Structure 1
Amino acid sequence: MPPLKYLSAYPAHLQEQVRRLLAADRLGEYLQQRYPERHPVQSDKALYAYVMERKQRFLRNAPGIDKVLYDSKLDVLRNALGLHTAVSRVQGGKLKAKKEIRIAALFRDAAPEFLDMIVVHELAHLREFDHNKAFYQLCEHMLPGYHQLEFDLRVYLTWRDLAQ
């Protein structure tokens, strides 16, 4: 069986459970039972509104976001879930930084819980740049059950890779 690249940081017993589901060809069924719906956020405009609503609810005082979009060029393995960037440009003698959130286009067809998890993750980077304890506490505050959703999303990515 190939290595579980998205789950390599998780304990061996969890990886073993996923391997058993894969061996029995039941991982897709398990994911479908847990996450049967697909979210309706399909356009970049809808995604921007979706992200801004969550930002307003939890991070009112955080820096603004200039652009939010699905990006078909994001490499899921390298940038795992999404990308939060600050693009600096010179405008009339002043340096302006524009904040962007890009989410891999494959998540257009994901469960609403997965989109929530990705958005919360990228929004948390507005306050905490590193993946430290404070970062994960903020994620958990914005989305209770964040850690389970992150694990399940990684299981989904594993299934998706192996099903192709």
Structure 2
Amino acid sequence: MENQLKYLNGYRQEIQDQVSSLLENDKLQSVLLSRHPHIHDIRSDKALYDYTMAIKNRYLRKSQPLAKIQYDDKISLTHQALGLHSFVSRAQGRKTKAKNEIRISSRLKRVPESLLRMVVVHELAHLKEKDHNKAFYQLCCHMEGDYHQLEFDLRLLLTLVDSGIDMEW
């Protein structure tokens, strides 16, 4: 059971026990559906770019520019991060050019908008804070007030997917 709840390792035992009970009684999916009943319609890379830039322009207008924002089929939900922020430096002659890129797992095309937003906010926060420290999470909460609950809900979704159940929205 411990491996089944790997996304919840940092949470109190009572919370893990509650999730375990919901999973065993086939109720975890209905809990998620009650909190997040509809999936978003942000399916294309252009739509994701526009969505991400709207959040960036609202909260991080003065941060470094983003060269690329796209869905990525190579990022899996269960074995890698849900999104990747990369700072790419390339030497061209004597000049070094740096670009920031955000890649979001293509599997997140079919989740509720609030869960996609949480991952986008997380990746955008890395423009200012590289590490997962207190300042990083404060910035995430500034951009998305429900950040911690949404992160927990996404962990519940990952736990459900790992158990072999694919959410049907």
What TM-score do the two structures reach when normalised by structure 1?
Answer: 0.95
> 1:150 corresponds to which residue?
151
**Residue of structure 1 in register with 2:99 after alignment:** 98
Query: How many angstroms apart in 1 are the aligned matches of 2:30 and 2:10?
Result: 24
* Equivalenced residues, count: 164
The answer to whether residue 125 in structure 2 is matched with residue 121 in structure 1 is no
SS at match of 1:30: helix
Q: Secondary structure at the match of 1:117?
A: helix
- The superposition leaves residues 101-142 of structure 1 with CA deviations (integer Å, 9 ceiling, x where unpaired) of 001111010110001100100000001110000100110011
Query: 1:3: how far off?
Result: 2.9
Secondary structure of 2:47's partner? helix
CA contact (8 A) 2:7 2:158 kept: yes
Evaluate the alpha carbon distance shift between residue 10 and residue 148 of structure 1 in structure 2; reply closer, same or farther with a 3 A threshold: same
CA RMSD of aligned residues (A): 1.3
The percentage of counterpart residues that share the same residue type is 52
Equivalence for 1:161:
162
| Aligned pairs (5 A) from 1:55-134 | 55-134=56-135
Mapped to 2, the partners of 1:79 and 1:85 lie a distance apart of 14
Indicate whether 1:138 and 2:139 are aligned.
yes
Q: Retained in 1: the 8 A contact 2:78–2:162?
A: no
CA distance in 2, matches of 1:92, 1:37: 50
| Consecutive unaligned residues in structure 2, runs of 5 or more | none
Segments of 5+ residues of structure 1 without an aligned counterpart are: none
Partners of 1:142 and 1:129 lie apart in 2 by: 16
CA distance in 1 between partners of 2:100 and 2:161 (Å):
30
For the 8 Å contact 2:4–2:162, the answer to whether it is kept is no
- Residue identity opposite 1:113 in structure 2: S
Deviation at 1:157, TM superposition (A): 0.8
Q: Provide the secondary structure at the position in 1 that maps to 2:66.
A: coil
Q: Which residue of 2 aligns with 1:7?
A: 8
Counterpart-to-counterpart distance in 2, 1:115 and 1:34: 14
